[in-house]
Amino acid sequence: MPYSIIFFGTADFSTPSLQVLIDDNRFQVKAVVTKRDMKVGRHQDVTKPPVKMLAEKHGIPVLQLDSIKAESSYSTLKRIQGERQIDAYVVVSYGKIISQKVLDLPKHGVINVHGSLLPKHRGASCVQSAIAAGDKETGVTIMLMDAKMDHGPTLAQKTTEIKVDDTGGMVHDRLACIGALLLPDVLADFIEHKIEPIEQSHNEATYCKTLKREDGKIDWSKSADEIERLVRAYDPWPGTYTIKDDKRVKIFKTRTTNNELRTTVSEPGEWVIKDGKLYIACGDGALEILELQPEGKRRMSAKDYLAGQRL
């Protein structure tokens, strides 16, 4: 008889993990818990979470609970638990804190797929934080959840290299696939008592915050290396930008240069044209700007930008 699972997830990162559980005959996904439909984009179109769309495609019941902490949510999950004898919950990029009372419902606990090598980068922006910090590698951790954020004992980890041109989007997609490949065997082995959870080294933990669009404003007093990593880390979300002539300019691709250019300008953030290329001075070094998007215009190369602009 397959193991009964309730899957908690919302974002694109969740969908590969949900799909592999649906496809694996060792499991039966009894329900999917996700966030409410959201208004998205300039026209505020109501959009279903990716996990909901996948669940509906496969005829899986979907619960969109207003608050996972509410007593009504607990009662709903407890009723399903009583009716269907759920073996485990699987949480992948759900986006809400789950109370201990809910964590205690399934017979074998709650398994989480997290996009970092815990205990490093606990929190929501783990992918961006690893790139921005200059880490050489990152990975996926599968853990047994407790009531504290990304605190529970680990069941498995798998690493991947962070390449010099990796963006946040690239690493996000790679980790989503790695987590999905790792999840089914780890989940089955844990339920069958073939894996012993390992306590994290909590004194080595680092934390990252939930990012907002405003966090993408570039501080040019930082070094060119730091800013170059940040530009890649925050692509596609929240994106990076600067202010030029009171207008927002999005920065998409950059390249670090040597310090010779930096000695010719007086202030970090100064825009410089040299040999037909666009540079911005940093606190240490300078960045060559390769792709950007001025406010109200399309994304373009620096060459096209310079052809139509006078700095």
Give residue for tokens 């950007």.
292
135-139, 160-164, 170-174, 261-265: segment of lowest average pLDDT: 261-265
Taking a C-beta distance cutoff of 8 angstroms, is the pair 164, 111 a contact? no
For residue 166, what pLDDT is reported?
Answer: 98
All domains of the chain in start order, with CATH: 3-208 (3.40.50.170), 213-307 (3.10.25.10)
Before 49, cis peptide (omega within 30)?
no
For position 271, what pLDDT does the model report?
93
For 5-15, the pLDDT digits (tens) are 999 999 899 99
- Global confidence as pTM: 0.94
CA distances from 308 to 271, 280, 305 (A): 15, 18, 6
Nearest to 295 by CA among 243, 235, 249, 245: 249
Higher pLDDT, 290 or 37: 290
Question: Rounded to whole angstroms, what are the CA distances from 30 to 20, 48, 84, 107?
Answer: 14, 19, 8, 14
Please choose, from the candidates 167, 185, 6, the residue with its C-alpha nearest in 3D space to the C-alpha of residue 78. Answer: 6
DSSP per residue, the chain: -PEEEEEEE-SGGGHHHHHHHHH-TTEEEEEEEEPPPEEETTTTEEE--HHHHHHHHTT--EEE-S-TTSHHHHHHHHHHHHHH---EEEEES--S---HHHHTSSTT-EEEEESS-TTTTEETTHHHHHHHTT-SEEEEEEEE--SSTT-SPEEEEEEEE--TT--HHHHHHHHHHHHHHHHHHHHHHHHTT----B---GGG--EEPPP-GGGGB--TTSBHHHHHHHHHHTTTTT-EEEEETTEEEEEEEEEE--TTTGGG-SSTT-EEEETTEEEEE-SBSEEEEEEEEETTS--EEHHHHHHT---
- The pLDDT tens digits for 186-209 are 999 999 999 999 999 999 999 999
Confidence of residue 63 (pLDDT cuts 50, 70, 90): very high
Q: Per DSSP, what are the bridge partners of residue 47?
A: 38
- The token duo for 178 is 């790695």
pLDDT category of residue 311 using cuts at 50, 70 and 90: very low
The closest of 227, 293, 224 to 259, measured between CA atoms, is: 224
Average confidence (pLDDT) over 32-42: 84
